[in-house]
C-alpha cells in the first residue's frame, strides 16, 4: 500500500521552491502472524519452546500421575487385582507414573488422548498410548464414529468402535467438534505467540544493539525528490532488511541525503516486561494453574503458596484424574465386571491440610459411630 504523500508525482510546470524537499519513508507494521493450531504446532511452540506452557503442562501432568490408583471390586478394595498390576506397569517401556504423565500431557496439548489395549491369550496384558495427531476419526452413516484410523508413515491401522475393549478415547469438551477435544493451549494460542515473539524480539534487540523504529527523512542539499526506482528500492530494502523480530535493531546504512528520525516507542514505553507477564498469565489461566506457582508476578489473588497449590489440586488436577478414572472404569467394564477405579487422596501432599481438617471434624462428631466415621473419611472400602 502506498502512502499518498510518498507516491512519486510529475513535477508541475510552475513551482515555488523553498530550496528544501523532504520525503518521509515510514516503516509501517504489517498484519499479525499467528501460529497454526495443530497438535504439532502447539506442542512445538508451546511445550517445547515456551517455559510457561512447559511448566504448566508438567506441573499438572506430574501431579495427576503421582496419585496412586485404587482398584475396587464390588465395593471392596482389591490390591491384588490384575488391573492394579496393569496400571503399575502398562507396557514394557513405561511405568505407571510415566504412562499417566504422557496421557495427561496428550490431553493438555491436544485435548485428546488415545489408549490402545493389547490382549495376549484372551487377557488384557498391555496398554499403549497413541499420538493424537496420528489419529483420524472415521464417521459412519449416522455421523457417529465407526472406527479410528492410526497412521504412521505409510502404515495404517484401523480400530473398530465395536471391539471390546476397543480404543479408549479421552477428550476435553469442544463446542464445535462432535468427535475431537479442545486443547487448553489452543485457547491461549495468541498469548503463546505473543510470549514467544516478545522473547525473540528482545533477543534480536540485544543482538543488534536495540534501536526503536522511526522514519527515513530525505533532505537533499538541492531541491528534488527520489526517482521512482530509488523509491521502490528503498521500500524493498526496508521490508527485506529491517522488518520482523529477527531483524529488530539492525543498524541501517544511509546514503547521501537520508537521515533517520526515531518515531517508535522505546521498549520501556511499550513495557515489554508487563506484556510478557500478561501473556504468561493468560497461558497459566488457560491451563488452570495459579500464576503464583509458576513465578509470574502480579495478580496474586491467593494469600500464600499453600493456598494456591490447594487451588491447583482442587480446581484442575482432581477433576482431570476423576474423569480419567471414570472413563477407564467404563472402558474396562466388560473385561473386569464389577471393578471400579479410584485414587488414594490421602497420599496427596497438597491436600494434607484439608484431610487433616476433615479427620478432626469427623473425629469430634460424637453422634457418629466408628463405622460411620470410616465411611465419612473414605475408608469404607
How far apart, in Å, do the first and last CA atoms of the chain sit?
73
**pLDDT reported for residue 13:** 47
**Neighbour tally for 40: CB within 10 Å:** 12
When mean pLDDT is compared across 78-87, 177-186, 307-316, 340-349, the lowest value belongs to 340-349
Q: What is the mean pLDDT of residues 212-233?
A: 65
Q: Which pLDDT tens digit goes with each residue over 176-212?
A: 998 999 999 899 888 888 888 878 877 776 665 555 5
Q: What is the DSSP string of 96-145?
A: HHHHHHHHHHHHHHHSEEEEEEEEETTEEEEEEEE-GGGEEEEE-TTSSE
Closest CA to 316 of 276, 339, 289, 284: 289
Q: In what order do the strands lie in the sheet containing 168-171?
A: 123-130, 112-120, 168-171
Most confident of 90-104, 215-229, 250-264, 367-381: 90-104
Q: Which pLDDT tens digit goes with each residue over 228-273?
A: 777 777 777 766 766 666 666 566 655 656 666 665 555 555 566 7
Kindly state the helix (H) or strand (E) to which residue 155 belongs, with its residue range. Answer: strand 155-160
When mean pLDDT is compared across 32-36, 140-144, 353-357, the lowest value belongs to 32-36
Q: Which pLDDT tens digit goes with each residue over 269-304?
A: 556 677 788 888 899 999 999 988 888 776 566 667
Q: What is the DSSP string of 219-254?
A: --SSS----HHHHHHHHHHHHHHH-SGGGTT-----
Q: What is the DSSP string of 28-45?
A: ----------SHHHHIII
Closest CA to 69 of 59, 79, 60, 56: 79
pTM above 0.95, yes or no: no
Please, are residues 125 and 346 in contact by the beta-carbon 8 Å criterion? Answer: no
> If pLDDT is split at 50, 70 and 90, which confidence band does 4 have?
very low
Q: Calculate Rg over the CA atoms of the chain.
A: 30
Q: Computed from CA positions of residues 355, 361, 364, 366, in that sequence, does the dihedral angle turn out positive or negative? A: negative
- Mean pLDDT, the chain, whole residue set: 78
Asked if omega into 276 is within 30° of 0 (cis), the reply is no
When mean pLDDT is compared across 11-20, 66-75, 216-225, 363-372, the lowest value belongs to 11-20
More confident residue, 155 or 372: 155
Most confident of 15-24, 65-74, 356-365: 65-74
Exposed, middle or buried: residue 8 (CB in 10 Å: 0-12, 13-18, 19+)? middle
**pLDDT reported for residue 269:** 53
DSSP-derived 3-state class of residue 79:
coil
Amino acid at each position: 500500500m502506498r502512502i499518498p504523500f510518498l507516491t512519486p508525482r510529475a513535477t508541475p510546470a510552475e513551482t515555488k521552491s523553498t530550496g528544501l524537499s523532504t520525503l518521509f519513508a515510514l516503516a509501517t507494521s504489517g498484519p499479525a502472524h499467528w501460529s497454526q493450531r495443530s497438535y504439532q504446532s502447539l506442542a512445538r511452540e508451546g511445550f517445547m519452546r515456551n517455559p510457561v506452557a512447559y511448566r504448566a503442562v508438567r506441573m499438572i501432568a506430574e501431579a495427576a500421575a503421582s496419585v496412586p490408583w485404587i482398584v475396587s471390586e464390588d465395593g471392596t478394595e482389591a490390591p491384588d487385582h490384575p488391573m492394579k498390576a496393569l496400571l503399575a506397569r502398562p507396557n514394557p517401556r513405561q511405568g505407571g507414573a510415566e504412562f499417566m504423565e504422557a496421557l495427561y500431557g496428550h490431553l493438555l496439548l491436544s485435548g485428546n488422548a488415545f489408549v490402545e489395549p493389547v490382549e495376549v491369550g484372551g487377557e488384557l496384558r498391555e496398554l499403549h498410548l497413541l499420538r493424537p495427531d496420528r489419529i483420524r476419526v472415521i464417521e459412519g452413516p449416522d455421523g457417529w464414529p465407526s472406527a479410528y484410523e492410526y497412521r504412521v508413515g505409510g502404515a495404517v491401522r484401523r480400530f473398530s468402535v465395536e471391539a471390546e475393549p476397543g480404543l479408549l478415547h479421552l477428550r476435553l469438551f469442544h463446542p464445535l467438534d462432535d468427535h475431537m477435544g479442545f486443547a487448553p493451549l489452543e485457547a491461549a494460542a495468541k498469548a503463546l505467540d505473543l510470549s514467544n515473539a516478545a522473547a525473540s524480539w528482545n533477543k534480536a534487540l540485544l543482538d543488534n544493539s536495540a534501536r526503536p523504529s522511526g522514519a527515513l527523512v530525505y533532505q537533499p542539499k538541492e531541491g528534488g525528490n527520489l526517482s521512482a526506482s530509488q523509491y521502490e528500492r528503498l521500500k524493498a530494502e526496508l521490508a527485506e532488511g529491517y522488518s520482523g523480530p529477527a531483524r529488530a535493531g539492525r543498524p541501517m546504512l544511509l546514503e547521501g541525503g537520508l537521515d533517520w528520525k526515531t518515531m517508535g516507542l522505546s521498549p520501556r514505553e511499550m513495557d515489554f516486561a508487563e506484556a510478557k507477564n500478561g501473556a504468561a498469565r493468560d497461558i497459566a489461566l488457560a491451563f488452570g494453574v495459579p500464576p503464583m506457582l509458576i513465578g509470574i508476578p502480579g495478580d496474586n489473588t491467593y494469600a500464600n503458596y499453600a493456598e494456591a497449590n490447594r487451588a491447583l489440586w482442587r480446581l484442575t488436577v482432581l477433576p482431570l484424574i476423576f474423569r480419567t478414572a471414570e472413563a477407564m472404569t467404563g472402558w474396562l467394564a466388560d473385561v473386569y465386571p464389577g471393578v471400579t477405579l479410584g485414587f488414594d487422596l490421602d497420599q496427596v501432599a497438597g491436600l494434607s491440610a484439608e484431610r487433616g481438617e476433615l479427620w478432626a471434624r469427623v473425629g469430634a462428631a460424637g453422634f457418629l459411630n466408628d463405622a460411620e466415621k470410616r465411611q465419612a473419611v473414605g475408608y469404607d472400602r
